[in-house]
Structure 1
């Protein structure tokens, strides 16, 4: 049985932390300047969610809810769907229309959340 602290998305978000420290990451912060909160469920939306904050104002990724007020947009998805979206294998609009991704907050902020904000997987 999967532990809620052991979602596949965690590896992607750890990479995101490193990515935000690079020049490309710093450009993202300048360009986007929004705060996203991710609620990632191991198997079923709304259950055993792990919450992450991707702060593209400060350029940081934090495990836990955003503490600086309200995030600009909050996304909820299953771990597998988050992985597919972040790797560019699932279009965020299609995921939203299928109900695989739920959004709260500003839709215009949410539309700036694209697979481009994620670091590309390194080729081994």
Structure 2
């Protein structure tokens, strides 16, 4: 799954680690995660050079992460910087605080965006981020 990692994006290493966690789930764990989240996140992350990378976390159908736009209409598109995503993944920044301070923007179902925090926390210990 090295196609997830992109030079110049710290977030891509985190997403690749999460993808490994998802791949390691047995059928029961995967079903539970899909049932709990039941949606698609499209992440549009800008790095320090201002380049945008797009990744999709599909927790509705496949339970996978891939580079590129969502193949289906995402429940929410989240726009943020590379640093902001890294802080969210490490638990150093709260998603709601990031939204309130303008570090994170959403398109679509904003309430669904709050589930990303739970996904990151649930997989963080397994991914050892």
- With the shorter chain as reference, the TM-score category is 0.7 to 0.9
Q: Which runs of 5+ in 2 are unaligned?
A: 1-5
4+ aligned runs moved over 3 Å, structure 1: none
Q: For residues 60 and 117 of structure 1, what CA distance do their matches in structure 2 show?
A: 15
Aligned length: 117
TM-score by length of 1: 0.84
TM-score by length of 2: 0.81
- Look up the match of 1:18: 20
Q: For residues 81 and 59 of structure 1, what CA distance do their matches in structure 2 show?
A: 23
More helix by share: 2
- Look up the match of 2:102: 99
Q: Which runs of 5+ in 1 are unaligned?
A: none
Q: Cα RMSD between the aligned structures?
A: 2.0
- Residue 119 of structure 1 aligns to a residue whose secondary structure is helix
Q: Which moved more, 1:19-28 or 1:59-68?
A: 19-28
